[in-house]
Every structure is written in structure tokens, then in C-alpha cells.
């Protein structure tokens, strides 16, 4: 499995950071590349410590993994250096020289845009205006900043060389399929495509290089900001069921709804998914908390997963039963998908 892409199946917030951090430990990848921008936060909990990262790949907990940020990504210098200090990855994180840089003018412009504030519910991080400047060919890139000269590289070249050598590479996608600028619930979407093929393009690898696409679904659906959410639960009902969450980047409460089979099928189609990861199983089934073996799952939780797998016709390989990396069931060996 030289290349695997991790992609969100709903509207973001699926727990991709948890899945990525588990795979960092379980699979020991040579390289992990983060796509997207600072409007997507991933939470990593490992050995009693928690980090919330918006640029550093969630694979950083493996000290042997080289960390990279893709050419198609957008960075912000203050957040980048803050995370370098917090995660202790200085010296092993590198940025593609063509990655875009968000400046304060982009943040200010977004915070003064009435449509983005009210109608869309943007995270107001400057990402949309920076992307617009990129399309207009006036955005500054990482190569234009002297302060970044020691950590810029040709990510595409490094990744393709690693693949030629048979090394394992993970691409960490952001947000979720239905926030895609092209395939999502437009205009209530983000400023980029958020499907697996787009992330491969951001990194600079061809589609034939991709061996696995792991689509991550939470055991229920959440979204932040405006836009449709089928079967949305009233706040009191979501609270009663334990589904109320706070967004990593914005601090806003996430809207919640039950698992959506139709959206899941469509996400599988868009991404050519080969595997499914399920997170927050322990929220639906508290008795599953931190169980690490399939055979020890409560029967009702196991039956729900089996029905889901049968309906979606894609193997459910990774199951998160808690926030920490160790609280994970990995079925890949028993399903013949990992040696």
C-alpha cells in the first residue's frame, strides 16, 4: 500500500485526526502530507496528551515520519510556527515551495464580508480570499518568504521518489466531501475541492499512484455553519443523545443529525473509497468505550457496523472507540487488507 488518502465522508468533523494519528503508529509511514488550510482543525490524543493542529500533519506523533505540507495548501505563518513549537516537529516538517501564504489582509477582508459571515457561516480565517488571490495569480507563495527558506522543498518530487522506492506515504485530506466547492452543498461549502482526487492533485501525484482511499465517517453527522443537514436534530435531542460538539477551529457548536446512508454512498462514489473508518462508535454505544478487539464489541454495536458494511459494500477496517490513539479496532489483517 504505497499511497493511501484519508478523506472525510460528510461535512468535516469526522475524526480524521484520530484515524491519521492511529495509522501513524500502526503503519509507520515514511511520509505524511497534509493538504488544505487553517480552516480545518484535526485533534490528536496520544498517551494522555491532546493537540489541535491546523497545519501540521496528524501523523506527527510518529517521530520517524517525515511531515510535509502540499503545494495546494494554504499556510499562515503565525499558526505554522506556533504549531511547530507545540508539536516539537521542527527539523522534520517541510512545506512545498508553491504552497500559498495567507496574509492579514485576507483575514480582514473575510471578516468584513457580510455574505460569508451570515449566509455561509465561514470560519473567517482568510482562506477564501487567499484562494481568490491564488486564482488571480497574485498570492504570495512559501518561496517568497525568507523566514521559510530552510523548510521549503519540492514535496511532489520527494513523494514520487519515495513511492519509486516502495515507501509508504499517507495523504491527509481535510474537511469533508460535501464541503467540496464542486460536489458539495454549494454555496455552503469551502473554497476548494475536498475529495480524494483533489488531494492527490494538491500533493502532485497522478491518480494511478493511489492504492487506498480511506473515507472517514462519524457514527452520526455534524456540520458547522449554514447549509442543509438532512434530519437535523433539535439541540435538546442532540444533547440528550450526547451528540453536541464544539468545532476545533471556530469554537462554534456543531449541528447534528443521524448517520446518513445516502450521503455515505455518494461519498464512496466521489472518492472511489476502498476502506471505511468509523469514529465515535463509543458515543452511540458507550459500552464500546476503548474496546480494541472486534470480538469484544457489544453485540448491538457489532450488528450496527455489520449492517452498515453490508449496505455500503465497502469494508469497515478502522473503528475508533475513544479519543486516544490506542482506543482503536483495526480489522485490516483479518480482512486480508494488511500483512
pTM above 0.75, yes or no: yes
What domains can be seen in the chain, in order of their start residue? 3-330 (3.40.440.10)
In angstroms and rounded to an integer, the radius of gyration of the C-alpha atoms of the chain is 19
pLDDT tens sequence across 316-331: 999 999 999 999 999 9
The catalytic site residues sit at 13, 42
Give the pLDDT of residue 250: 63
What tens-digit pLDDT sequence spans the chain (339 residues)? 599 999 999 999 999 999 999 999 999 999 999 999 988 888 999 988 999 999 999 999 999 999 999 999 999 999 999 999 999 999 999 999 999 999 999 988 877 765 565 555 566 788 989 999 999 999 999 999 999 999 999 999 999 999 999 999 999 999 999 999 999 999 999 999 999 999 999 999 999 999 999 999 999 999 988 899 999 999 889 889 888 887 666 667 889 999 999 999 999 999 999 999 999 999 999 999 999 999 999 999 999 999 999 999 999 999 999 999 999 999 999 999 987
Q: What is the pLDDT of residue 118?
A: 53
Nearest one of 223, 94, 105 to 162, comparing CA atoms: 94
E strands, the chain, are: 3-8, 31-34, 42-46, 49-53, 66-69, 74-75, 93-96, 100-101, 152-153, 169-172, 212-218, 220-223, 255-258, 275-279, 316-320, 328-330
Amino acid at each position: 500500500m504505497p499511497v493511501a488518502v484519508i478523506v472525510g465522508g460528510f461535512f468535516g468533523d469526522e475524526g480524521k485526526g484520530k484515524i491519521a494519528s492511529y495509522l501513524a503508529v500502526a503503519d509507520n509511514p515514511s511520509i505524511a502530507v497534509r493538504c488544505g488550510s487553517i480552516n480545518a482543525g484535526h485533534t490528536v490524543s496520544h498517551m494522555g496528551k491532546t493537540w489541535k493542529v491546523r497545519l501540521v500533519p496528524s501523523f506527527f506523533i510518529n517521530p520517524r515520519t517525515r511531515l510535509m505540507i502540499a503545494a495546494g495548501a494554504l499556510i499562515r505563518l503565525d499558526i505554522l510556527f506556533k504549531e511547530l513549537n507545540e508539536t516539537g516537529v521542527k527539523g522534520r516538517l517541510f512545506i512545498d515551495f508553491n504552497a500559498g501564504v495567507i496574509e492579514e489582509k485576507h483575514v480582514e477582508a473575510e471578516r468584513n464580508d457580510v455574505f460569508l459571515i451570515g449566509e455561509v457561516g465561514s470560519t473567517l480565517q482568510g482562506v477564501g480570499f487567499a484562494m481568490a488571490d491564488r486564482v488571480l495569480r497574485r498570492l504570495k507563495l512559501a518561496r517568497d518568504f525568507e523566514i521559510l527558506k530552510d523548510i521549503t522543498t519540492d514535496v511532489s518530487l520527494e513523494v514520487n521518489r519515495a513511492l519509486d522506492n516502495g515507501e509508504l506515504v499517507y495523504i491527509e485530506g481535510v474537511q469533508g466531501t460535501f464541503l467540496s466547492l464542486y460536489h458539495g452543498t454549494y454555496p455552503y461549502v469551502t473554497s476548494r475541492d475536498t475529495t480524494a482526487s483533489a488531494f492527490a492533485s494538491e500533493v502532485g501525484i497522478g491518480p494511478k499512484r493511489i492504492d487506498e482511499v480511506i473515507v472517514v465517517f462519524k457514527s452520526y453527522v455534524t456540520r458547522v455553519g449554514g447549509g442543509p443537514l438532512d434530519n437535523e436534530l433539535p439541540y435538546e435531542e442532540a444533547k440528550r443523545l450526547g451528540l453536541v460538539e464544539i468545532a476545533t477551529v471556530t469554537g462554534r457548536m456543531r449541528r447534528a443529525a443521524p448517520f446518513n446512508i445516502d450521503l455515505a454512498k455518494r461519498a464512496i462514489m466521489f472518492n472511489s473509497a476502498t476502506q471505511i473508518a468509523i469514529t465515535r462508535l463509543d458515543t452511540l454505544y458507550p459500552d464500546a468505550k476503548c474496546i480494541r478487539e472486534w470480538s469484544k464489541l457489544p453485540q448491538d454495536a457489532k450488528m450496527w457496523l455489520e449492517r452498515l458494511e453490508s449496505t455500503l459494500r465497502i469494508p469497515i477496517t478502522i473503528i475508533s472507540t475513544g479519543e486516544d490513539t490506542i482506543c482503536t479496532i483495526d480489522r485490516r489483517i483479518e480482512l486480508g487488507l494488511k500483512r
